[in-house]
Amino acid sequence: MSARSYLDWNASAPLRPEARAAMVAAMEIAGNASSIHAEGRAVRALIERARAQVSAALGADGADIVFTSGATEAAALACAGRGLHCAGVEHDAVAAWCAVDLPVDAQGRVTVTDPAKGVLQLANSETGIVQDLPPGLVMSDATQAFGKLPFAFNWLGTDMALVSAHKLGGPKGVGALALRRGLDVTAQIKGGGQEMGRRAGTENVIGIAGFGAAAEAAARDLANGVWDRVAEVRNILEQALEADCPGIILLGKDQPRLPNTSCVIAPGWKGETQVMTMDLAGFAVSAGSACSSGKVSASRVLQAMGLDTSDAGCALRVSIGPDTGREDVLRFAAVYARAWNRARERQKQAGSDLPRHKTG
């Protein structure tokens, strides 16, 4: 049996060795960061080093970095009680705190009518589509873009941004909110005075250490052109799929996208069936955001872009990373093409016309 290929990096990137080493080292340090003795000061120094690493990688010099349990908690901290507006392409963790009423076009582009009350992601986890952020924006979800795209929080023109460690090779269960200096938020977890009074609770020191190390390593990879090479492999995948899979749609292909993300729509072939078929063949892929997995419904993101429920339910996300090789994607494309053509043949034998792609 062939070795498995992990093609679901947008769900969670493999743990970087730098993060693992930092976490192991952090396990050896006793003490609480709120204690003033030597052991406590050592833990505090470790946290502040990680804060500086995340800040540098994020281009957030002069901003406040608040560590959280992940981007979901960071979204609550940023958005609660502000009366914000977002589009239907936002992650559920953000949309839960906003009025979801901003217009989206068929290419996934969002119009923010009032930046002073607006929220807009930097890149979409399902389609990879990258947005142009208007100046004066309240908050941006930079979770998927962080470590993959060159940007700096300081020149995004937004007051706040969310990031998460495990999307760039850090541990799961830790994230951060970047805040423009001088801006404050209302703590959603109350108790102690940790994280500048914005997030109570003893810090996840091991996770924070791993996050800092992963952010530093991710910034180095980005500067060294690693993700340019990932984009080349992604393009090889899409060329192979277009050549051998008649009738599929590569959503957002002509739009600015993350370098690693392909959203494939195979009309009439359910996304969850595609995922199971490819899993059995040795490939880890997904039918959308990992946080929405298990919900038997069409992608809310794709429906916001104007696709009908039939097509939106037939999407597959392939998201690759620096460890993905040309041979991985070509093998995936070959297996996928055989399965897709078998599915098309079954549809023809059943006497049904293939559904047609609709975008509005």
Known catalytic residues are 291
DSSP state of 62: T
Residues 6+ apart with CB under 8 A from 52: 212
Residues 6+ apart with CB under 8 A from 29: 39, 42, 43, 46, 205
Burial label for 130, CB within 10 Å (0-12, 13-18, 19+), is: buried
Cα–Cα dist 238/264, whole Å: 9
Q: Could you give the angle at the alpha carbon of 222 between the alpha carbons of 251 and 91, nearest 5°?
A: 45
Cα–Cα dist 155/225, whole Å: 21
DSSP H helical ranges for the chain: 17-27, 38-58, 71-79, 92-95, 153-156, 205-223, 226-244, 271-280, 300-304, 309-312, 326-349
